[in-house]
A and B are shown apart, each in its own frame.
Chain A
Amino acid sequence: MKKRVLSALLSTAMVMGLLAGCGSSAADAPAADTSAGTEAAATTEAASDEGAAVAAGDEGSVFNIYCWNEEFKSRLTDHYPGYEEVDGTTGKIGDVTVKWNITPSKDNAYQNNLDEHLLTQADAAADDKIDLFLIEADYALKYVDTEYTMSLADLGITDEQLVNQYQYTKDVVTDSNGNLKGASWQGCPGVLIYRRDIAKEVFGTDDPAEVQKKVADWDTYKATAQEVKDAGYYMTSSVNDTYRTYSNNVTSKWVVDGKINIDDNIMKWVEDSKTMYDAGQIANTTELWSDDWSKGFFQDAKVFCYFGPAWFIDFSMAADTEGSVANAGGWAATEGPQGFFWGGTWICGATGTDNPSLVKDIMLKLTTDETIMTDIVKADNDFVNNKPAMAAMAADTNYKSAVLGGQNPLRMFCTGAESVDLSNQGAYDQGCNESFQNAMKNYFDGNATLDESLEIFYSSVEEKYPELSH
């Protein structure tokens, strides 16, 4: 019985897909190709399953997914129709066994593992081939700009189907020839998150609109930092808190013609941060996620604000821990000096997959289906990559964030998501950003001059990417 319901669902999905792709031959072509290729395998099962065989009978029986944590798995379990969990590392969609290959991203382990498998993808047995893998924005181009990632057009997904997605989420996964090669169910525009009690004490109000005037651009931000400091607080926990806000608003890429290039806005971050840190307006120079950095989440800390997107507010600010500001709903959000984004996960189809229509279906369901995406917002508080769904939620007065003391921040996120500009991203971003923050810590701490720190940055990048010079 369950199976029949599933078949019905899958067949409607296919018909819908065909209708949506009406008139475009691209939608049909690859499906035809692959079904021809795996015809032999298909005959037995396709006969019994008949039309419902889109994701099951026609294609490979093992669906390999490569990712770095459980997030996507729980999205698929909770929101993809027909996904059944078998055990920790396997699941089932119809007759297809879903195999999860989860490698943590720490120390580049995820990418190393993925690289090895992608490079041998052509020779791998059909059941061992990667079908779908996830990537993050910081290194998206490393995969997107190669043959190893399938373009959405080849999967049969048309631009019209993606029209509700935010532009920046498409820019991240567009290769140098303009082909779109991935899709995300999330948007991660960031905001400035400040403590209501400190705002009240220092500015006399905790109204987001009023506080926004205090942090509207970097000059007022710096002036405010002095005010906050005079009252005995720190503006941010670490110098690195503001990094993304600067690095997302650069006017040139990290690498120009094989030479390392430091954008003016990045240097502005160095200057501003150094001045503010020396003036005692910033608490620390630690890395993000270190213990010293996250101390600011708690009531007895003296940190005024953090920069972060929706997932940061809900999952990272220790909302479940007694004594944290988030637990008491003591934060509020405002746009901050400049728009930025942080994180996000993109779904990519691997070239050579033996389950292209299942890849396509998962992408369509999770990143374009408005009902499913609205469910994700409600169930998981994610900011989803769907403009109408988010606009509706932003206008919904019933939607409140407990961490933000009942504020509905979605309108801010919507505006933020529209304003993110990623025209200057490149394949070297992840390595350069990491090395830069590490190297500059020496300058902020006073262990090295600016020039010495830059030298450390250059040698660190050249170790990572031997083809570059400065």
Chain B
Amino acid sequence: MKQKAGRGNSKAVSYNKWGYIFLIPFFAVFIVFQFVPLVSTVYNSFFENYRSGLIQVGPNFIGLENYKTLFTNGELLTYTKNTLIMWVMGFIPQIIVSLLLASWFSDQRLRLKATSFFKTVIYLPNLIMASAFAMLFYTLFADGGPINLILMQLGILQEPFKFFSSIWGSRSLVALMNFLMWFGNTTILLMAGMMGIDPALFEAAEVDGATSTQVFWKITLPLLKPILLYVMITSLIGGLQMFDVPQILTNGKGEPVRSTMTLIMYLNNHLYSKNYGLGGALSVCLFIITAILSLIIFKVSGNDKKAR
């Protein structure tokens, strides 16, 4: 009896060891590809380090000079605003449509046919490369492109509407593309959340005579909160890092009037001159902005207070 217990103990210890061994790959990858770059970004942000033509300038330590440049020219604020505006414009329709679709797909009473076909179809836009998708939109919405031709032939427009010369026109296009690309993904996530809700609750509600609207607002939504929060935070982080769509759509310029210039596009501009100093400072700011916004969402949604 005693012996048995002893053996059991030693077994537990050796299992622990394996646990750590299996964690090593993750930590190795994390340190090499995430932690080291993160630290070196912060380190780089204190240096003047760029290339002018073929001449390398620096690295010279200049303290907080890069941050001063960023904050004094006021552009950081503009591009943060642009990024957030385009994210919100895309996210609101995205979350509404996704919630609607997810509740339809997961609703047993509707008995929808060919759900897996439609699930695949709505996910498809996400599989197209963002750059290819942006090129397509660029051609479709060009001043003399098919969309304008159709609108003119239908008599809706007298003259072609210049989407890429209009601030809200081009912002809407970016938002529309992000919406189209991501609503499928969000739908799948929300559906997974809804299917995880105990069916007994729905049945009980049904027995009590709740309408489907009531079921949605009183049962589905509150129980979906953790997933919704996850969707919001990942989408926010993805939105702040918005780059490929506006970059390709506006040819890297963020025109008109730099109103579609996102933070990462701004960062990319600094890489033209290999400006690692200013680029690093900008990345650090982006990191802080993302952290703050995520915290705000976390607090506002009340998830920090162990609701259940």
Chain A residues engaging chain B, CB cutoff 8 angstroms: 107-108, 115, 118-119, 142-143, 145-146, 148, 284-287, 290-292, 295, 427, 431, 438, 441-442, 445, 447-448, 452, 456, 459-460, 463-467
Pick the contact of B52: A290, A463, A465 (CB < 8 A): A465
Pick the contact of B53: A108, A142, A447 (CB < 8 A): A142
Which residues of A have CB within 8 Å of B54? 115, 118-119, 142-143, 146, 148
Q: A119-B54, A291-B142, A466-B50 are in contact. Are A456 and B269 (CB under 8 A)?
A: no
Which residues of B have CB within 8 Å of A148? 54
Q: B228 at the A/B interface (Cβ < 8 Å)?
A: no
Q: Which residue of A lies closest to B69 (CB)?
A: A466
Report how far A448 CA is from B166 CA in the complex, Å: 11
Which residues of B have CB within 8 Å of A107? 252
Pick the contact of B257: A108, A286, A456, A465 (CB < 8 A): A456
Query: Is B251 a contact partner of A287 (Cβ separation < 8 A)?
Result: yes
Pick the contact of A292: B57, B142, B251, B255 (CB < 8 A): B142
Give chain B interface residues in 235-260, CB to chain A under 8 Å: 251-253, 255-258
Which residues of B have CB within 8 Å of A448? 256-257
Query: Is A463 a contact partner of B269 (Cβ separation < 8 A)?
Result: yes
5 sampled A-B residue pairs with Cβ under 8 A: A146-B55, A447-B257, A448-B256, A463-B272, A464-B269
Which residues of A have CB within 8 Å of B139? 291
Q: B145 at the A/B interface (Cβ < 8 Å)?
A: yes
Pick the contact of A427: B53, B275, B278 (CB < 8 A): B53
Q: What is the CB-to-nearest-CB distance from B253 to chain A, in angstroms, rounded to a whole number?
A: 5
Q: Max chain A CB contacts within 10 Å: which of B52, B139, B270?
A: B52
Q: B206 at the A/B interface (Cβ < 8 Å)?
A: no
Report how far A442 CA is from B253 CA in the complex, Å: 12
Report how far A119 CA is from B51 CA in the complex, Å: 11
Query: Is A442 a contact partner of B273 (Cβ separation < 8 A)?
Result: no
Which residues of A have CB within 8 Å of B256? 441-442, 445, 447-448
Q: What is the CB-to-nearest-CB distance from A433 to chain B, in angstroms, rounded to a whole number?
A: 14
Q: What is the CB-to-nearest-CB distance from A277 to chain B, in angstroms, rounded to a whole number?
A: 12
Q: B293 at the A/B interface (Cβ < 8 Å)?
A: no
Q: B75 at the A/B interface (Cβ < 8 Å)?
A: yes
Which residues of A have CB within 8 Å of B213? none
Q: Which residue of B lies closest to A148 (CB)?
A: B54
Pick the contact of A466: B166, B253, B257, B273 (CB < 8 A): B273
Query: Is B257 a contact partner of A442 (Cβ separation < 8 A)?
Result: yes
Inter-chain pairs besides A146-B54, A427-B53, A438-B255, 19 sampled, C-beta below 8 Å: A115-B51, A115-B54, A119-B54, A142-B53, A146-B55, A291-B144, A441-B165, A441-B255, A445-B165, A447-B256, A452-B257, A456-B257, A463-B273, A464-B269, A464-B272, A465-B273, A466-B52, A466-B275, A467-B52
Q: What is the CB-to-nearest-CB distance from A86 to chain B, in angstroms, rounded to a whole number?
A: 32
Q: B73 at the A/B interface (Cβ < 8 Å)?
A: yes
Report how far A399 CA is from B167 CA in the complex, Å: 50
Which residues of B have CB within 8 Å of A442? 255-257
Pick the contact of B165: A115, A118, A295, A447 (CB < 8 A): A447
Q: B143 at the A/B interface (Cβ < 8 Å)?
A: yes
Report how far A460 CA is from B55 CA in the complex, Å: 20
Which residues of A have CB within 8 Å of B299? none
Q: Which residue of B lies closest to A287 (CB)?
A: B251
7 pairs of A and B residues whose beta carbons are closest in the complex: A463-B269, A445-B165, A142-B53, A447-B256, A292-B143, A464-B272, A447-B257
Q: A119-B54, A466-B278 are in contact. Are A108 and B73 (CB under 8 A)?
A: no
Report how far A145 CA is from B257 CA in the complex, Å: 34
Report how far A108 CA is from B271 CA in the complex, Å: 11
Query: Is B255 a contact partner of A459 (Cβ separation < 8 A)?
Result: no
Q: A285-B165, A464-B269 are in contact. Are A456 and B258 (CB under 8 A)?
A: yes
Q: What is the CB-to-nearest-CB distance from A448 to chain B, in angstroms, rounded to a whole number?
A: 5
Report how far A108 CA is from B52 CA in the complex, Å: 14
Q: Which residue of B lies closest to A290 (CB)?
A: B142
Which residues of B have CB within 8 Å of A146? 53-55
Residue-wise, chain B 121-148 has the 8 Å CB interface mask toward A (1 for contact) of 0000000000000000001001111000
Report how far A271 CA is from B52 CA in the complex, Å: 32
Give chain B interface residues in 137-190, CB to chain A under 8 Å: 139, 142-145, 162, 165-167
Query: Is B257 a contact partner of A463 (Cβ separation < 8 A)?
Result: no
Q: A146-B54, A463-B269 are in contact. Are A284 and B258 (CB under 8 A)?
A: no
Query: Is B258 a contact partner of A292 (Cβ separation < 8 A)?
Result: no
Q: What is the CB-to-nearest-CB distance from A383 to chain B, in angstroms, rounded to a whole number?
A: 29
Report how far A459 CA is from B257 CA in the complex, Å: 12
Which residues of B have CB within 8 Å of A115? 51, 54
Pick the contact of B167: A441, A447, A466 (CB < 8 A): A447
Which residues of B have CB within 8 Å of A465? 52, 273
Report how far A237 CA is from B25 CA in the complex, Å: 59
Query: Is B162 a contact partner of A445 (Cβ separation < 8 A)?
Result: yes
Give chain B interface residues in 1-42, CB to chain A under 8 Å: none
Report how far A146 CA is from B54 CA in the complex, Å: 8
Report how far A456 CA is from B258 CA in the complex, Å: 8
Q: Which residue of A lies closest to B277 (CB)?
A: A466
Q: Which residue of B lies closest to A285 (CB)?
A: B165
Query: Is A284 a contact partner of B253 (Cβ separation < 8 A)?
Result: no
Which residues of B have CB within 8 Å of A285? 165
Q: Which residue of A lies closest to B275 (CB)?
A: A466
Q: Which residue of A lies closest to B75 (CB)?
A: A459
